[in-house]
């Protein structure tokens, strides 16, 4: 038979491969269970031909790196399911959604129930004899320490990631000018003197420690100077949702704060892609972008002047000042309080 090239079947050329960045994007979004249709629509909106987009999505499962990632994801999902089941057990407790307020807790009870038991609590009697409760006020700070230069976070309103980018928001100001700014501002989250500003490391502010009286039995008083922090700002300041890497106490001296907590066992629901931070704002939750957050249980308590919050290990929390606030926190527990976290670093998610 005579060979006729025109009789051979015509094979359409395969779509051109995507760039490595887009290939990674396809893999990430399929691993996150995004639908092929929504992914293709996003790619087309970004200028990629639909046939090319659909081919890349349909064939990503053939990539050996993708298959390896799927196997690691199975392990991750098992670990998340264990956490979720333990959380369900915790929530069987009839008072789980209530943050207790107690005047006093013995050391043994505190260690067992709140440290090892990993539960937040508010102690109402810790600061009863603290001179700070009688002395500290914005006017006191101005009169006693007005000339002292302190570091604050400023221009926070211009940056939704102000806490992660805290080093970019440092500014120096006199205590006198800070007090005037706080009293004149009204509710604001634009500036705040926080623990990260290390005010108590200034020798000029060391006398503030003389106004701290009795401390919980679970605290080592001798380490107070190196393990305490000072907070001062207007109503409206917000410490965004995050977790600390140690346990701590936080005492309200002036004003009220609203504390909201989420169990560390629910970490898979708070989208922790970077460091110790969550992108979720508890005042404005975007369930379209973060649908798994609907599974999280939020605990809430208002902390009054003279009350002390205990923050147990790993609990997510967001804190809002309801008034002009002065607070004092300390981490010098005399139980093990040195822990390591394998924090993610995926800033573009």
Q: What is the pLDDT of residues 164-223, one digit of tens each?
A: 999 999 999 999 999 999 999 999 999 999 999 999 999 999 999 999 999 999 999 999
Q: Is 31 helix (H, G, I), strand (E, B) or coil?
A: helix
Structure letter (DSSP) for residue 254: E
pLDDT at 301 over 70: yes
Question: What are the domain boundaries of the chain?
Answer: 14-92, 96-330
* pLDDT, the chain, mean: 95
pLDDT at 6 over 80: no
Contact 316, 261 (CB under 8 A): yes
Q: At what angle do helices 36-45 and 20-31 cross, to 10 degrees?
A: 150
Please say whether the structural domain 96-330 has been given the CATH code 3.30.1050.10: no
Contact 241, 258 (CB under 8 A): no
Report in angstroms the alpha-carbon separations of 84 from 102, 128, 147, 323: 29, 39, 52, 36
What's the confidence (pLDDT) of residue 10? 57
């Amino acid at each position: 038979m005579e060979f006729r090239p025109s009789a051979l079947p015509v094979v359409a050329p395969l779509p051109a491969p995507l760039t490595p960045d887009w290939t990674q994007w396809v893999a990430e979004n399929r691993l996150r269970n995004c639908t092929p249709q929504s992914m293709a629509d996003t790619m087309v909106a970004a200028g990629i031909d639909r046939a090319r987009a659909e081919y890349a999505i349909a064939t990503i499962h053939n990539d050996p790196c993708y298959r390896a990632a799927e196997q690691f994801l199975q392990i991750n999902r098992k670990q998340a399911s264990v956490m979720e089941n333990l959380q369900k057990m915790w929530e069987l407790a009839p008072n789980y959604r209530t943050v207790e307020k107690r005047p006093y807790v013995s050391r043994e009870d505190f260690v067992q129930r709140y440290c090892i038991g990993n539960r937040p609590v508010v102690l109402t009697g810790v600061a009863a004899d603290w001179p700070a409760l009688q002395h500290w006020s914005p006017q006191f700070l101005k009169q006693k320490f007005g000339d002292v230069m302190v570091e604050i976070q400023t221009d926070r309103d211009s940056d939704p990631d102000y806490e992660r980018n805290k080093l970019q928001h440092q500014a120096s100001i006199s205590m006198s000018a800070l007090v005037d700014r706080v009293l004149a501002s009204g509710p604001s989250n634009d500036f705040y003197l926080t623990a990260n500003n290390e005010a108590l490391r200034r020798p000029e502010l060391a006398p503030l420690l003389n106004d701290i009286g009795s401390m919980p039995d679970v605290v080592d008083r001798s380490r107070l100077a190196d393990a305490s922090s000072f907070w001062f700002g207007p109503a409206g300041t917000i410490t965004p949702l995050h977790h600390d890497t140690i346990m701590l106490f936080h005492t309200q001296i002036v004003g009220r704060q609203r504390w909201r907590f989420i169990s560390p066992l629910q970490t898979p629901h708070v989208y922790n892609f970077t460091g110790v931070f969550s992108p979720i704002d508890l005042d404005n939750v975007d369930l379209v972008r973060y649908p798994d957050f609907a599974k999280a249980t939020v605990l809430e308590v208002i902390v009054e002047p003279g009350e002390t919050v205990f923050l147990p290990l790993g609990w997510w929390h967001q804190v809002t000042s309801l008034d002009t606030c002065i607070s004092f926190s300390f981490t010098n527990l005399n139980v093990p309080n040195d822990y390591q976290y394998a924090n993610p670093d995926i800033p573009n998610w």
